[in-house]
Amino acid sequence: MEIRAVSEPSSVERVKHYYKTDDYQTVLKVLGPEIQAVIERNTCVIE
């Protein structure tokens, strides 16, 4: 199964802030370390 998400945040700073929120970190933990590694590996910022 492949799941993809694309977002267009207003700034890189906003993305960094969101990544550090408790809610986002909780979701990563629920998904497990293998999925977390894939998400972190495939996350990129294009300005």
Element (H, E) at 26: helix 22-31
Tell me, yes or no, if the pTM score tops 0.75.
Answer: no
Tell me the pLDDT tens digit for each residue of 1-47.
676 777 777 888 888 888 889 998 898 889 898 888 887 777 776 76
- 6-12 own/partner pairs: CB under 8 Å, 24+ apart: 12/45, 12/47
Separation between Cα atoms, residue 34 and residue 17, nearest integer Å = 23
